[in-house]
Structure 1
Amino acid sequence: MKTVFSSTEEQEQEIASLVSRFYESVFPKYFTESEILHFREIGVLEPNQSSVTYLATLRDAFQVMTCLQVLMSILDKQKRVMEPKSEELFQHNITLLNECGIFFPFYYDHFSSINHEANSDMQMMHIQVANQYLV
């Protein structure tokens, strides 16, 4: 007999937060708004329909959280320095996500070019206003 611990509500919330950050911060740098909407429709970063074991254990939940954090870290560093092992690490974490039942149908190459149109829109959102009344 093997004893396992189930995932906690806090882990579920953290995973939901990481997925939200992907959709709000990461995807807009690389994809258009219509592509991101399509990702939501097809269930990117959601449990696979055939997966019964999604986050069933404490270990799986930690695995998913760690993979999402590593992927975000690689994509953040990609703007500054392209490391040779980044692609291998990126693919390894995608494999782990898929093994945990999380649908992530991308490769490293999908994130190789920044969507300049979306990037300029993101920059406009962070501009400080000069006059309070013009907000």
Structure 2
Amino acid sequence: MKIVFASTPSQEEEINGLVRYIYSNIFPLYYSDEDICEFEQLKVLHTSEDFSTLKDAFQVMTCIQTLISILESSLEEQYEDVFNKNVSTLKDFGLFFPFEFEQFVDAKRLKNTMLSIYTKADNELII
């Protein structure tokens, strides 16, 4: 007999928080608001169902955190294999992340620094 532990609601919340972080802090570094809106419609990183085990949820959290770390860094080629491995793992868990490492490298070169509706506001009070 094998005992497995189900994922917890707090893990599900953490995964959703990481996905929101990607949409508000990572994607605006590389893509326009129109592109990000399209990603939402395509349900990129959409978590429609609960993860069956504690291990599954931890693997998904770790993969997303690793992708965030890589995409917030200088996008060095030495991380391409790690990036691809984590994208593959997310796909194995049913999360749609249709990007390749080179797409982010190219997007960063082309992206102008501009405001995005997806970025978190620096403050909530405007006088």
With the length of structure 2 as denominator, give the TM-score of the two structures: 0.83
Which structure's CA Rg is the greater one? 1
* Partner Cα separation in structure 2 for residue 33 and residue 104 of structure 1: 17
Tell me what 1:99 maps to: 92
Partner of 1:116: 111
Give 5+ residue unaligned stretches, structure 2. none
The amino acid that maps onto 1:108 is: F
Could you tell me how far 1:25 is from its partner in structure 2?
Answer: 0.5
Pairs aligned (count): 121
Mark the runs of 5 or more structure 1 residues left unpaired by the alignment. none
Structure 1 outlier segments of 4+, above 3 Å: none
Matched, 1:66 2:59: no
> In the alignment, does 2:79 pair up with 1:89?
no
> Displacement of 1:7 after TM fit?
0.4
SS of the residue corresponding to residue 85 of structure 1 reads helix
Cα deviation digits, residues 94-133 of structure 1 (max 9, x gap): 011111111111100111032533x33269x65x9xxx9x
How big is the alpha-carbon RMSD for the aligned residues of Structure 1 and Structure 2? 2.4
Query: Normalized against structure 1, the TM-score is what?
Result: 0.79
Q: In structure 1, how many angstroms separate the alpha carbons of the residues matched to 2:26 and 2:16? A: 15
In structure 1, give the amino acid aligned to 2:40: R
Separation (CA, whole Å) in 1 of partners of 2:35 and 2:78: 28
